[in-house]
Each structure stands twice: as C-alpha cells, then as structure tokens.
A and B are shown apart, each in its own frame.
Chain A
C-alpha cells in the first residue's frame, strides 16, 4: 500500500465514527493495541516536547526505510501515535519528506484536540520530518 493509500484508509476508518466520543473510543483501542517502547528506550533524547502527556519516539533505519516505534503515557495520544506510526513507519525518507501531513487535517484531529495536544501533534510531526531529513 502506498503512503497515500494508507492515509486514505485511515481517513475512511475514522469517518465511520460521527460522534467525537466514538472517535476517542477508537483512538483508545488503537492506543491500547500499540506495542509501545520498552522502559529502557523511554529516554530523554526520545522524548518529544510540547505535550501535556509524554511522548517518546524511536527511529531506526533498516534497509533504506525508517522504522518508527513510539509510546506515550496518555492513551488517546498513544492512539494518534499509532496512526502516525502506521502511516510513516517502513517508508523511505524521501517518501516522508514528500508528504505534507495534511491527512491529519482530514481527520479533524488538529483543530478538535486541545491546543496543547495539537502542539504535541505538531511536535511529533516535526520530529518525524526531521528524522527523515537526517536520514535522507
């Protein structure tokens, strides 16, 4: 599946839920399902600033693609991370850099989450982009 197709799939899944609380239920389920990071990887250098909750993002380069894994102490955030990891993990740096991350707007996540949360999301995206740029 291409990056765009994967994004569309998520947008379609998400649009099944009309009520915000149902969307949250869905994100909570995703969050619970995300494997997360082992404690020893939750280090200061993997911590993303700008969230009320803490988010750790780990990135490895394998066979030319970036593999992301991530964790958070808050479950809704973890659900959102799980979406991001699903879309961007296993992609080449070039693919990631070519994307404009607008699919998050299509999900309505940016404007409907609290400003601090949106900032966290923005920091998360910025981190993914900078990892891609470092590894280009």
Chain B
C-alpha cells in the first residue's frame, strides 16, 4: 500500500495543515507518476504534430498516440482498433455520438431512451438531438434503491426506439447497471445501446463484446490518465454510416470545391490537432488501473456504517455489494450538503457536494443536492475511518 501511495504524489500533501484525504475520485482521480512522466516525456522530447509530417519526431509522436489506441482496444476488448476514437473526454464522446448518430439514424418521431440517474452529459446531448430532429426523449426510471426499473423496459421500448443511453455505473448511486440485459432488450426491439462508461471503466472489467453494447464512452482523467482525453468506442458498421461532426485537418481524404471526401476510421472523427501529450497517457493509465485492486472491505465497511448512521440517507443501495462501487452519496437530515462539505474540507477531507451533474435524479429523490464520497484503491481503511468520524463530527456541529 505504501508503495502504491507513493506513486500518487498528491496523496502526500496537506490542506490547512492536515493530511489530505482525497475522496472525490469519481469527479477526477489522482495521477500516478507514470502518467505525469509520460506526459512530460512526450511534451519535452517527442512533440510533433501527428499523422502528418515524415520527419523522425513526428513518427515517434504518432507511434505513441497510436500505441494508446492499441492499448485501449485491448483494454475494452474492442474487435478493431479503428473503432476506438479519441476525444477530449466523455462529454465530447457523448456529444459526438449524439450528433453523428443523430444525423445518420434519427428522424422525426423516433425515440431515444435515457436513464433517470444519468449524468447531464448523457442527458443534454440527447435532448438537443431530439429538439433538432423532432424526436422524442423517454426516461427509464430508477426505484427507491436507485436500481433501474427494468420492469418498465418493455413498455418504454417501441418500434420507434432508435437508441438506449445508460450509464454503466451511475456517478451518484455507484450501482452497476445490468447493461447486458438492457442491451439484449434494446436489440430485441431493434434499437441500439450506448453506454456511458465514465465510471464503469474505473471500477468494472469492461468487455464491450460481452456487454454487447454499440457504443461505449469514457474519460481519461477519471481512470488515472490525462485530463482532456477520452474515448468513444463504436461498432464499425455504425461508425461507417455516421457523418463526422467536425470538419478540418486530417479527417479528409480529398478536398474539392465540389465535394470533400472523408478519411477512413478513426481519422474521420478526429479532426484537428489531437491531444499529443495526453492521449498517449492511456498506456500508463491502463497499466496503473490494472495493477490496483479495490479493497472490498473498505466498500463494505463504509456502506454498512453509512447505512446505519442516524439521520443519514444513503442513495444507491443493494443487498449485493458486488454491484456497488465505492461511490457513496448521502443526504443528512437537518444538515445541508454544502455545510457538510465545507466542514469536511477544513478537516482535510475532499468530498463532493451539490447536484453532481444529475439534477433530474436529485428531483427524483426530492433533495436539492447530496454529499458524495468516492474512493479509489489508493485510499486506506484509516482514511475511510477518518472520513466517517469527521462526518459524524460535522453532523453534530450542524445539529
């Protein structure tokens, strides 16, 4: 554990003279030395534009970038490397999917089904698409525990459903959704399924073929990689039919005044100079992710303690803790989430408060916001205990 923690220099810092206890990993994870070293090395020694020039450094830069594509392909078990499209993050990936899929496949009266616990990034692009095309947005609700209401699927899916958009793991509830089951239902109805994997990629072993999804989107910065990086994976058969969202450098085959033709996958969707230093960091990030293992005792302990804490309401509950990742959102009776977060901050504990980019879900549970603690494998049981005792103290201060 000590060695592992040494890999993440930020774990060694203090705030307000207290050791930092970083429990906002679902928002962004910390970066290991291997990732910052990769960024530094490329920035200082291998900087050149990608896919363009014939000179030596350009080749090296391009190789590092394309090696990341191979690493990601293998990591998510995608059938082909050309199906892995690099973006600036999950939000970019989802907007790209919404725009390009929408142009190719969505018409007036078509339906898109999104999940009620979705991040705004997996809601708003679909709302925008529906407005643009006169399509209909439908919502797959969650029950009191936070589980998706699969019983409603048959009535929500229709012959007009074109796409189902669900999170692999909700960033608020921390519950692993039964993606494969939803994919089967969607496909049986003739629809496609897109999975927002921003949290799933961090906590689950992802195999896009086993999940049988059609798109899978995630960010680099939540999986110990570089900020400003992301992935959209999609099935070739679909990506081939989808028009590019951005036009410009490197996404073209030939440019004529009469007509421009586009480059083959994946360049078709990667217009402009890409993230030269950031994207190659997927290689060490994936290595790091693979090398770490979440201590399930911590998940279990925090889950049980929060469930039993008086006045505390834990969202995202399940009897089967193998379906719960260490992301814990709570509301406390008589204590505002922001007050709690401010007090915890002064105790050195970094947690998230507010709507967590999931306003419809806040409305669903009748709260103005929540307090969220999200753990990574480098967090210790001691930190979990410190968080719990700090939380108790904060609650008593506010009562």
Contacts and interface: CB of A to CB of B under 8 A. Distances in A.
A74 B398 CA distance: 10
A51 B343 CA distance: 17
Q: Is the interface of A mostly helix, strand, loop or mixed?
A: helix
Interface stretch (B182-190, B260-268, B334-342): B334-342
Interface stretch (B89-97, B270-278, B294-302, B345-353): B345-353
Given A28-B398, A52-B354, A52-B369, A21 B346 contact: yes
Interface residues of B: mostly helix, strand, loop or mixed? Answer: helix
Interface stretch (A37-45, A86-94, A96-104, A113-121): A113-121
By CB atoms of chain B within 10 A, which of A52, A113, A114 has the most?
A52
A15 to B, nearest CB: 17
Given A54-B368, A117-B338, A75 B398 contact: yes
B210 interface: no
B338 A21 contact: no
A95 interface: no
Contacts of B341: 114
B16 interface: yes
Nearest to B337: A52
Contacts, number: 48
B225 to A, nearest CB: 24
B346 A74 contact: no
Nearest to A74: B336
Interface residues of A, number: 18
Interface string A18-53: 001100110010000000000000000000000111
Specify which of A21, A25, A74, A116 lies most central, judged by the most chain B CB atoms within 10 Å of its CB: A74
Interface residues of B, number: 17
A7 interface: no
A52 B397 contact: no
B354 A73 contact: no
A21 B339 contact: no
A76 interface: yes
A70 B295 CA distance: 46
A77 interface: yes
Residue from the set B339, B343, B345, B354 with the largest chain A CB neighbour count within 10 Å: B339
Interface string B1-23: 00000000000000010000000
B346 A77 contact: no
Interface in B362-398: 368-369, 397-398
A88 to B, nearest CB: 23
B342 A73 contact: no
Given A24-B397, A28-B397, A53 B336 contact: yes
Given A52-B354, A73-B336, A116-B354, A24 B342 contact: yes
Given A52-B353, A76-B342, 11 more contacts: A20-B16, A20-B346, A21-B346, A21-B397, A24-B342, A24-B397, A53-B368, A54-B368, A75-B398, A116-B338, A116-B354
The 6 closest A-B pairs by CB, nearest first: A74-B336, A20-B346, A52-B338, A52-B354, A74-B338, A53-B338
